[in-house]
Amino acid sequence: MSRISRRRFLCVAGAGVAASTLPQVSQAAVAAATQPLHADTANPCVAISSANGIESVAVARGLVLEKGMRPVSAAVQGVASVEADPNDMSVGYGGLPNELGKVQLDSACMDGPTHNAGSVASIEDIMHPAQVAELVMDRTDHINLVGPGARQFALDYGFKAEDLLTERARQIWLKWRSKRSGDDYLWPLLDTEPADPALADEPRPWGTIHCSVLAPSSDVGCCTTTSGLAFKIPGRIGDSPLIGCGLYCDNEVGSAGATGRGEAAILSGGSWLVVERMRAGDTPEQACLYALKRVAEQAERGSRWQPALWKDGQPNFGLTFYAVRKDGLYGSASMRGAGRFAVADAKGARLENCAIAFGNK
């Protein structure tokens, strides 16, 4: 039996507000997403994402309402601005590289009505892997393409190859490399400590964007896109391109996705589990919390051989699930401490607080 007590497994939820728009976002799409629609309760249209997707949820919802776009495509288009943003160092262009200094991206998407999916993993030089994943879904009889095959597939379909390593990401990687022990790279690399706070000592950075969309037709779709774990072993694939792990949807139930420690989402089949819990009657938030508890129990079992993952009687890593149900209910929960997620519905686009599985000690 699990040693995780109900007392240690906290459930805290709340709400907050924030909003902004990126210049490349169609104003009409944003307007459609942020204007209250009173008919929304009968036929809800909801987009939910990780906190870096406040523009993405507005755009995705706007594309569904304004253009009648299918939810999966709206999610893929919604995350495009984050993939192109050099300041988001966890996704697409500007993402932190692998241990050899090469940016390798993972992405997948899933379409509720056809129960089909596409994914690319460890793809190099392509800024919008989510769009390539959508092509894999629509134009092939496969689900996953990886590495050079995925890159060549993208080139075949007209994507251009470009260097995704920004100068800032390169500096952060050089600093990380020079601080490893047991090799001949030295720090400081520069004469003085750089002013950029991203170059200051900090825990290994992480991030991703997941976006799930519910259309007024009750169809769902989703996508997840990431540069993955910073400084990963070349070829490492996280949960983001794996169906059932970093994302999953079922048109009879709803849609879900994950960000955070990909290995934990993979080992638990996390996003699949969230959707199945919603099928069994959980609210999205309850389903996310249930999946986190399952992950925690699994991590506790593994903590003898990997003690870094278990500290003070709690999981010592971040993981967040996001979910939307067919009836328009949505929710999110994170493993440790405070977290935020983005949502756009009839009330507009905003950030809300994630429920918390384990409080910080």
Write out the residues near ligand ASP by the rule CB under 6 A: 206-208, 226, 228-229, 238-240, 259-260, 262
Beta-strand (E) ranges in the chain?
14-15, 46-50, 105-111, 116-123, 144-146, 209-214, 220-226, 247-250, 254-260, 310-311, 314-315, 319-325, 330-336, 340-345, 348-353, 355-358
* Residue with Cβ nearer ligand ASP (145 or 247): 247
Copy the structure tokens of residue 204. Answer: 């290994």
In terms of CB distance, is 101 or 205 closer to ligand ASP? 205
Q: How many CB atoms lie within 10 A of CB 143?
A: 17
CB of 83 to ligand ASP, least distance (A): 14
- Smaller CB distance to ligand ASP: residue 52 or 81? 52
User: In the chain, what is the straight-line distance between the N-terminal and C-terminal CA atoms, in Å?
Assistant: 24
Active site residue 114: no
For residues 145 and 134, give the distance between their C-alpha atoms in angstroms, rounded to a whole number: 11
Which amino acid, one-letter code, is at 73? S
CA atoms within 13 A on the CB side of 127: 20
> Shortest distance, CB of residue 226 to ligand ASP, whole angstroms?
5
Tokens 């894999």 correspond to: 136
Nearer to ligand ASP, 97 or 238 (CB): 238
Please identify, using beta-carbon distances, which residue of 108 and 349 lies nearer to ligand ASP. 108
DSSP 148-199: HHHHHHHHHTTPPP-----HHHHHHHHHHHHTSTTSS--S--SSS--S-GGG
Phi, psi of 300 (to 5 degrees): -65, -40
In angstroms, how far is CA 337 from the centroid of its own chain? 18
Who contacts 178 (Cβ-Cβ below 8 Å, separation ≥6)?
185, 186, 187, 189
Q: How far is the CB of 245 from ligand ASP (least distance, A)?
A: 9
Catalytic residue among 21, 34, 166, 208: 208
* SS3 state at 361: coil
CB of 190 to ligand ASP, least distance (A): 27
Contact at 8 Å (CB) between 229 and 262?
A: yes
| Min dist. Cβ of residue 271 to ligand ASP (A) | 11
Residue 21 or 240 with smaller CB distance to ligand ASP: 240
Closest CB 90 distance from ligand ASP, rounded Å: 6
Catalytic residues: 208
